[in-house]
Amino acid sequence: MKKLLTVGEILVEIMATEQGFGFREPITLVGPFASGAPAIFIDQVARFGQPCAIISAVGKDDFGTLCLDRLRGDGVDVSAVSQDPERPTGSAFVRYRPDGQRDFVFNIRHSANASIAATEETERLIAGCDHLHVMGTALFSQAVIDLVLDAARRIRARGGTISFDPNIRSELLHLSGLREALETVFAMADLFMPSGNELFLFTKAQTEEAAIREILDGGTKAVVIKRGLEGASWFSRDGHVSVPAYRVEEIDPTGAGDCFGATFVCCWLRGMAPAEALALANASGALAVRKRGPMEGAATADEIARLVRSASRL
């Protein structure tokens, strides 16, 4: 089976138990939960049963140990996750607004994640993996950007493939070098997996149809659009298909896009038909929102297949 690699932040998430705006007054928080978009993604890949690894860094502290134990326990190869004695594990505080939007306070730039760098272990993984998945949030420091671009070029040169989820967080967009790095990864991606308006990040097109045509003409093999409660769509030069979402009770929306992406990429690497892959990926996103905590809803392939067989579509 193909081995999947991602690079990027592992952090803990601490979340507000009540809705509201920001963190300007004392509130009740719950956590720490293992998190970070690349970490959620790769945990779901492992739970789906695909060989996989993450290149990252955590601190030599309890938060780092919590995350490493969790990922290792679920089957992720963490041999290239370093434990930095100088910097703490990153953290993100999150609070939901009444309309479902989220406020984040990230503590990541000076965390261990900023020390992700090439080592013997990262070299070995880059040489041994068949597919690289890139999350836009991972590209927050020049060291990570250099590592991701080097991994992408080498995996591609060996005939491997790249998927890209821009996963834009407005709190991080101002960071220097991020925009250029996003464009470089976009240009190399076989699979582009935006959510909502992220489709228009790299085009001047005004309509979805025009944007997709431009992206496919530019050499991207397929575009997968995540549409939340409206499910998801696949577009390639051979055609397109949309598949509705599953009806579940939403407890915590964090992680839906990452789990969706993980399951979709695994199915795509296994050569599954797009409609079948979208159904499993939608089910994976639906299961992700049923549990509190970013990674707690990552489900096994059996659980995902069971939802596809039994659930009602929205």
Site string for ligand ATP, 117-156 (x = CB under 6 A): ----------------------------------------
Part of the chain binding ligand ATP (CB under 6 A), chosen from 44-52, 108-116, 175-183, 243-251: 243-251
Position among 58, 286, 295, 298 found at the interface with ligand ATP (CB under 6 A): 286
The alpha carbon torsion through 123, 169, 194, 33 (nearest 10 deg) reads: 70
Position among 6, 161, 195, 233 found at the interface with ligand ATP (CB under 6 A): 195
Q: Which is nearer to Mg ion, 137 or 161 (CB)?
A: 137
CB of 6 to ligand ATP, least distance (A): 15
Q: Which is nearer to ligand ATP, 47 or 87 (CB)?
A: 47
Give the Å distances, CA to CA, from 14 to 32, 60, 63, 177, 287. Answer: 5, 19, 11, 28, 21
- For the record, the structure tokens of 213 come out as 């045509």
For ligand ATP, how many residues bind (rule: CB under 6 A)?
23
The count of residues in the chain is 314
Q: Does 8 bind Mg ion (CB under 5 A)?
A: no
Strand, coil or helix: 234: strand
Residues 6+ apart with CB under 8 A from 265: 4, 45, 131, 133, 163, 191
Residue with tokens 């060996």: 158
Position among 20, 29, 253, 303 found at the interface with ligand ATP (CB under 6 A): 253
Q: Does 262 bind ligand ATP (CB under 6 A)?
A: no
Q: Does 250 bind ligand ATP (CB under 6 A)?
A: yes
Q: How far apart are CA 140 and CA 133, in angstroms?
A: 16
Residues 6+ apart with CB under 8 A from 174: none
Residue type (1 letter), 125: L
Task: Provide the binding-site residues for ligand ATP, judged by CB under 6 A.
Answer: 167, 195, 226-229, 231-232, 245-246, 248, 250, 253-258, 260, 282, 285-286, 289
Task: Provide the binding-site residues for Mg ion, judged by CB under 5 A.
Answer: 167, 195, 257
